[in-house]
Amino acid sequence: MDFSKITNFSNRQLENFQDINKRYKQMYLSPNESMPMFIINTPVESHDWEVKLFNAEAMLIDDLNVIRTHADIGDDRVPSARVSFGTAQIAAAFGCEMYIPPNNLPCAKTHVLHDINDAINLKKPPKYAGWFKRLYEFSEFYMENIPEGVEIQLPDTQGPFNNAHLIRGNDIIFDFFDNPGQLEYFLDYITDYLIDLVKELQHLTTNRDGWFFDWGSLWKGYGRISNCTVHLISPDMYRNFVLKRDIKFLEGIGGGRIHYCGSYPEVIESFINMSPVTGFDYDNSLHNLVDVCKLAPDKVPVFCWAQRNSKTINDLLSGEWPEKKNIIIGVDAPSIEEGKVLLSKLRESAERNYDGLY
């Protein structure tokens, strides 16, 4: 199959993708000279997950159809695709069973570390353990078949604490109090494993020159930490146990960004001010854009996912912007045409506020 017939990029669109990459790099390298970026998501017909989890062609077709809609809208999404097998790929490699919910990504069904004292007996999983063999096969299919202009993102590798929780289960919460020494050993073990794994998986991506593609954007560094599970522990527990492992991981791979969909505002400052952090994204329904931007260092771009009718989007459209310019706004629209209109309005508002041009 000729997958380029799906994207069907014009020369002008290919040139625009290069410009988009330059503007993402500017957000980190020259933040005061940058302008906000916008990613407008619209509904796209796709295969059920029960199909594409076992069919690389179906998964790639769906990714390319999404990319095509963004190219038609003309927003700032990098045309990047990702082999997606859910959040529990590392857990599965360690032996956790996977569960596939109806028309959804797999998740961990069981936990293999029943006693934290047994962490010392954990063995590094073989290269093709769990779903990794399929990950390599699908990634190689992507590499062989992506059309010109399309990039390939790193698979979902989560982060030190997310993976530790999936392997240990909810009993890990008791370990903070009952077995802190063994917990620290376990967190170090998972962190070291992840550093090696992310370095190994780079060859399955089109990441290059110290920049990586993730969530339709381009970021400085080599990978992401997803810190969703931090919502289960207190900010002090994060700072005393997990923070040093997050820093070690990001330094070990060469820098990267943080994803957080939890509600504790107290941990955001810890996330966003780590020296190797190069970006941060969060759920707009749980935190305020202006407040998050005030916490972020100048060079760290902030990615805000917001609903179309949210206060955040309405504020931006009415001209109420944060002082920080290197922000990325993700928002849904019901159709491509309505997405174009929304994109135009957001860009016009940003131009008026920041006295810049797109």
The burial of 2, by beta-carbon neighbours within 10 Å (0-12 exposed, 13-18 middle, 19 or more buried), is given as exposed
Please say whether the beta carbons of 2 and 33 come within 8 A: no
In this prediction the pTM is 0.97
Label residue 208 by pLDDT band (50, 70, 90): very high
Question: For a pLDDT cut of 70, what percent of the chain falls above it?
Answer: 100
pLDDT of residue 265: 92
CA distance 9 to 121: 52
pLDDT (average), residues 105-123? 97
Label residue 50 by pLDDT band (50, 70, 90): very high
Residue 301, both tokens: 């771009």
The CATH architecture that domain 4-354 belongs to is: Alpha-Beta Barrel (3.20)
CA distance 349 to 358: 11
Nearest alpha-carbon partner for 293 in 226, 211, 230, 301: 301
Contacts of residue 103, Cβ cutoff 8 Å, sequence gap at least 6: 48, 49, 50
pLDDT (average), residues 230-246? 97
| For residue 70, pLDDT beyond 90 | yes
CA distance 333 to 70: 11
| For residue 295, pLDDT beyond 90 | yes
CA distance 152 to 275: 26
How does pLDDT run across 313-351, given as a tens digit for each residue?
999 999 999 999 999 999 999 999 999 999 999 999 999
pLDDT of residue 357: 80
pLDDT of residue 358: 80
pLDDT of residue 329: 98
Please say whether the beta carbons of 225 and 259 come within 8 A: yes
pLDDT (average), residues 155-176? 98
Alpha-carbon torsion (225, 277, 194, 183), positive or negative: negative
What type of residue sits at position 127? K
How does pLDDT run across 28-39, given as a tens digit for each residue?
999 999 999 999
Residue 215's alpha-carbon distances to 103, 254, 258, 264, in angstroms, are 21, 19, 12, 23
pLDDT (average), residues 219-243? 97
How does pLDDT run across 239-282, given as a tens digit for each residue?
999 999 999 999 999 999 999 999 989 999 999 999 999 999 99
The angle subtended at Cα 241 by Cα 275 and Cα 186, nearest 5°, is 110
Question: For a pLDDT cut of 90, what percent of the chain falls above it?
Answer: 97
Label residue 356 by pLDDT band (50, 70, 90): confident
